[in-house]
Amino acid sequence: MTSPETGSTEPASRETGSVDVDWEALRELARDAMARAYAPYSGFPVGVAALVDDGRTVTGCNVENASYGLGLCAECGLVSQLQNSGGGRLTHFTCVDGQGEILVPCGRCRQLLYEFGGPELLVETPAGILPLSEMLPQAFGPENLTK
């Protein structure tokens, strides 16, 4: 996939390597993923995109099911692609709705992102770029299972 690390004129809160993150390009990848969502029941397609610590980009879209509880959020597809393409840690994340507008992940998905990005994962929100630690304070994670 194309990397959105192009040194955009948009401000970035954190750098990956020596190049600022192009949040607009990352958002565009999320919009592309959203266009492939399967959302016949809710009519609410979602797409996500994230940068990985090794420079890769991963994406995902929601996939609904007639048995509503079996639907998969876009973040599930994203972390599946992350693991399937070599693993790593998520560093920057964005999510868009059916109109391509920035959308914050639900609580369940914030927990999923915490597992693969940790508290320092930068998340694009309507209020700006925030670390996941501000969106999921006092998160439960792998470190809690070793106590």
Q: What are the residue numbers of the active site?
A: 75
Q: Provide the 3-class DSSP secondary structure of residue 22.
A: coil
C-beta separation of 118 from 126 below 8 A: no
DSSP code of residue 145: G
In the chain, beta strands by DSSP E: 15-16, 19-20, 47-52, 57-61, 90-96, 122-125, 128-131
SS3 (DSSP) at 30:
helix
CA distances from 59 to 33, 86, 140 (A): 6, 14, 24
